[in-house]
Homo-oligomer: A and B are copies of this chain.
Amino acid sequence: MKAEDFKSMEKVRREYLKKIRQLSFLEFSREKWEELKKLVYKVVPLDVDVVIDDTTLREGVQMAGIVSPHPSDSCRIACLLRDIGVERLEVLTYTKSDQEAIKRMRDENLGEILAAWSRAAKEDIDLALKLDFKQIGISHPVSYIHFEKWTDKPVEQLFTRVTEAVEYARDHGLTIFVHGEDSTRADWEFEKAFINTVADAGASVYRICDTVGCGVSDPQAPLPHGIPAKVAHIKKETKIPYIEIHAHDDLGNAVENTMATVRAASGLYDKVYVSTTFLGLGDRAGGAETEKVILNCYLHHGIDKWNLSPLRELAMFIASSTNFNMPLNKAIVGDSAFAHESGIHVHGISTLPLTYETFPPELVGHERTIVVG
């Protein structure tokens, strides 16, 4: 390599490191960090508002092997989520404990952001109305595999069933989201007709449910598994005003499928809903983590609408109130997320924390740990 190449690299390096050193800190400063972030990470701006519908208190608590939090704990979880900036909270309505939690949330003025989970059944909608919900999510399968449980019901009857449920909810003043269960294994001709049917009946959002986590984030992946393809087809071929993503993590792709939806929705919709669970709690392998989706949006796309500082506190509280053994190496909020043990890493960290940290732990209310191995 030529001498001038080295000279040029050396110059770029020295200037870059000088700036970084000026913005580095031992005492956390949000302002300095934001400057540092601009220097280190290239933000790709998006043309869409990301609305989080956290379902920790519906999908999350249904997870096998954890306990349902006490209503007062559920209420505290909901309040912390609201403090972070979550704009819709999905909850269960069936048990006395669910209902007690809802009452407490209402007392904390969370009524407007609560959404009931419901089957396409009058009795569920009546229950939501009785509990004074303003928003309801009506869940209905859209894949033929899931119709196996209804061998006796022809498709026409299934359309009637969901139409009646949506119209009933609409006629009683509810804002309606429809969850297309197993969307990523659905026949597109059926799903398209289904989406148009629920849109006609009054639903404002269609939730793409990647129920068994087989969705693919690659923009080239075809229907039904390809998530960006599905977003584009829904925009082009249906009349539903908004879309949402609910991704499961059976193959480890939940966060990325959620982010793929956000990217695909950018420029097509003015807002996109993401259905996430804190810590990724949920059936089987759980779902996309609320905290990971927030940090992805923040770091990669410069979305600065959430309050990040309660993230660690909320993680600890959910783990203790559900008896969930949070893995040490849980990204962002786990005990080891900012722990450094090996000699090289500890040296790097003590010189410049950014060396082995994506962002400073204080940003999410966490702290750095140096472990003597």
Contacts and interface: CB of A to CB of B under 8 A. Distances in A.
Interface in A337-362: 337-342, 344-345, 347-348, 351-352, 354-358
A1 interface: yes
A339 to B, nearest CB: 4
Interface string A324-335: 111111111011
Interface stretch (A108-116, A212-220, A234-242): A212-220
Nearest to A6: B156
A341 B64 contact: yes
B41 A225 contact: yes
A127 interface: no
When all copies of this chain in the complex are counted, the total is: 2
B42 A336 contact: no
A298 to B, nearest CB: 10
Contact of A283 (B40, B249, B285, B342): B342
A56 interface: no
Contact of A145 (B6, B40, B280): B40
A336 B10 contact: no
A222 interface: yes
A6 B155 contact: yes
A285 B356 contact: no
Contacts of A222: 42, 44
A285 B337 contact: yes
30 contacts: A9-B155, A10-B155, A17-B144, A17-B151, A41-B225, A44-B218, A44-B221, A62-B373, A63-B328, A63-B341, A64-B341, A64-B369, A64-B373, A65-B335, A66-B328, A149-B347, A149-B348, A217-B256, A251-B295, A251-B332, A252-B255, A252-B296, A253-B256, A253-B259, A280-B329, A284-B331, A284-B336, A284-B338, A284-B339, A285-B334
Given A1-B159, A252-B292, A324-B328, 11 more contacts: A10-B156, A12-B144, A20-B145, A21-B148, A62-B341, A64-B339, A65-B371, A145-B355, A148-B351, A149-B355, A284-B356
